[in-house]
Amino acid sequence: MRTRTALGILFAAAVTVTAAAPAEALAQTAQVSVLPDTTTWEMTSKAGHRYQIFAAWPKGEAPAGGWPVVYVLDANIMFGTMVDAVRAMERRQPSQPAVIVGIGYPQDLDARIERARDLTARLGTPEPTLPGTGGAEGFADFVESELKPAIAARFRVDPARETIFGHSYGGHFVLYTLVNRPGLFDNWIAASPSLWFENRLLASHNVRDRIGPKLAATGATGRVLITAGEYEQGV
């Protein structure tokens, strides 16, 4: 209790000092915080969609076969967290560093609209129930034929060690590619993957039962991690 009280006092004092500081002084001392060894650039797909690409790379020389790659969806909010997590893991245990590639959207676009289009699939239905959704196949085409070559041109990467991470709609996209385009990545992480979308149609496709045969058909030996949220219980 004393520790919490002390922390509360310190926090309140910090807020008070900050509030009392002249705006001019804050403006003069403020600096932009940038993660080291990272960059970002904009890409426009052949379909005319704009993306903000983020990339982080390890220190030192790449191994003979190239660095593994982790692709992160919803990068505007997920990229920094993933970079910190991967680098923290590298420091604490012997694991090979990786290039981290985030796929997000320019700030002048509404990411909610863009991601709803890119990260959801039609799943065999003629038209999606929700307007503006169902573009996962086109987005997967962009990743495979446009983004991956761009990353390979910038970094020495290993095309046989590519992981995809997505949360919510992003997790939905991860499972969609796992079932329908298993050769696109080598490892898949789907966090709370919006199985409710389209009346749980993706879940009705028996994702779990289809994963094994799909991977066996491609000779893949990768790993699949799925975490469940409130709306994935019982699926």
Count Cβ neighbours within 10 Å for each residue of 196-223 and write b for 16 or more, e otherwise: bbbeebbbebebeeebeebbeeeebebe
- Whether the CB-CB separation of 98 and 45 falls below 8 Å is answered with no
User: Is the predicted pLDDT of residue 232 greater than 70, yes or no?
Assistant: no
Instruction: Provide the pLDDT confidence category of residue 128 given band limits of 50, 70 and 90.
Output: low
Q: What is the pLDDT of residues 22-39, one digit of tens each?
A: 555 555 566 666 788 999
pLDDT of residue 64: 92
Q: What is the pLDDT of residues 142-168, one digit of tens each?
A: 999 999 999 999 999 999 999 999 999
Token pair belonging to 23: 């705006």
User: Is the predicted pLDDT of residue 187 greater than 50, yes or no?
Assistant: yes
pLDDT of residue 143: 99
* DSSP-assigned letter for residue 61: P
Closest CA to 68 of 164, 142, 145: 164
Instruction: Determine how many CB atoms are found less than 10 A away from the CB of residue 17.
Output: 9
Amino acid letter, 224: V
Q: Cα-flanking dihedrals φ and ψ of residue 32, to 5°?
A: -75, 130
Percent of the chain with pLDDT over 90: 49
Closest CA to 179 of 156, 161, 199, 205: 205
Spatial distance between the Cα atoms of 172 and 128, rounded to a whole number of angstroms:
14
User: Is the predicted pLDDT of residue 125 greater than 60, yes or no?
Assistant: no
Q: Is 95 helix (H, G, I), strand (E, B) or coil?
A: coil
Instruction: Provide the pLDDT confidence category of residue 69 given band limits of 50, 70 and 90.
Output: very high
The H or E element that residue 42 is part of is: strand 38-44
Q: What is the pLDDT of residues 97-122, one digit of tens each?
A: 999 999 999 999 999 999 999 999 87
Instruction: Provide the pLDDT confidence category of residue 140 given band limits of 50, 70 and 90.
Output: very high
Instruction: Provide the pLDDT confidence category of residue 207 given band limits of 50, 70 and 90.
Output: low
Spatial distance between the Cα atoms of 207 and 209, rounded to a whole number of angstroms:
6
pLDDT of residue 146: 99
Token pair belonging to 142: 């962009």
User: Is the predicted pLDDT of residue 18 greater than 90, yes or no?
Assistant: no
- Name residues whose C-beta falls within 8 Å of residue 122's C-beta, 6 or more positions apart in sequence: 128, 134, 136, 137
Q: Where are the domains of the chain?
A: 1-31, 33-232
User: Is the predicted pLDDT of residue 197 greater than 90, yes or no?
Assistant: no
Q: What is the mean pLDDT of the chain?
A: 81
Average pLDDT over residues 62-78: 96
Average pLDDT over residues 64-71: 96
pLDDT of residue 13: 39
Single pTM value for the model: 0.80
- Whether the CB-CB separation of 100 and 72 falls below 8 Å is answered with yes
Tally of residues, the chain: 235
Average pLDDT over residues 124-129: 58
Token pair belonging to 217: 């058909």
CATH code matching the domain that covers 33-232, chosen among 3.90.1150.10, 1.20.120.1200, 3.30.590.10, 3.40.50.1820: 3.40.50.1820
Question: What residues does 229 pair with on adjacent strands?
Answer: none
> Helix crossing, 207-218 with 169-180: angle to 10°?
50
